[in-house]
Chain A
Amino acid sequence: MKVILRNPKREMVVEGPTSVRELLEHLRIVPESVLVIRGNELLTRSERVDADDTIELRPVISGGG
Chain B
Amino acid sequence: MNCRVCKQRAAVEVRRHHAAFCPDHFIEHVQRQVARTIHDYRMFGSEDRLLLGVSGGKDSLALWDILTELGYEVDGAYLHLGIGGYSADSLALAEGFAANRNLRLSIIDLPVDYGFSIPEAAATQGRSACSVCGLSKRYLLNEAATGYDVLVMGHNLDDEAATLLGNVLKWNTEYLGRQAPVLPAVEGLARKVKPLIRVAERETAAYAVLRGIEYEVEECPLVAGNKVNRLKERLNVLEEQSSGIKQQFLFGFLDRGAQHFGVGEKPELGSCRSCGRPTTGDVCAFCRVRARATAPPEERDS
Contact = CB atoms under 8 A, between A and B. Distances in A.
Interface of A: 6-7, 9, 30-35, 37, 41-47, 58-65
Given A30-B236, A42-B210, A58-B205, A65 B11 contact: no
Contacts of A45: 13
Chain B interface extent, by class? 35 or more
A45 B1 CA distance: 9
B84 to A, nearest CB: 15
B20 A44 contact: yes
Given A7-B218, A41-B11, A45-B13, A62 B233 contact: no
A44 B21 CA distance: 10
A58 B216 CA distance: 11
A11 B237 CA distance: 24
A32 B154 CA distance: 19
B59 interface: yes
B158 interface: yes
A62 B219 contact: yes
A64 B154 contact: yes
Contacts of A64: 55, 57, 59, 154-155, 159, 228
Contacts of A35: 202, 205-206, 209
A59 B12 contact: no
B153 A65 contact: yes
Given A35-B202, A44-B11, 8 more contacts: A30-B240, A33-B236, A42-B12, A42-B206, A61-B201, A62-B58, A63-B223, A65-B57
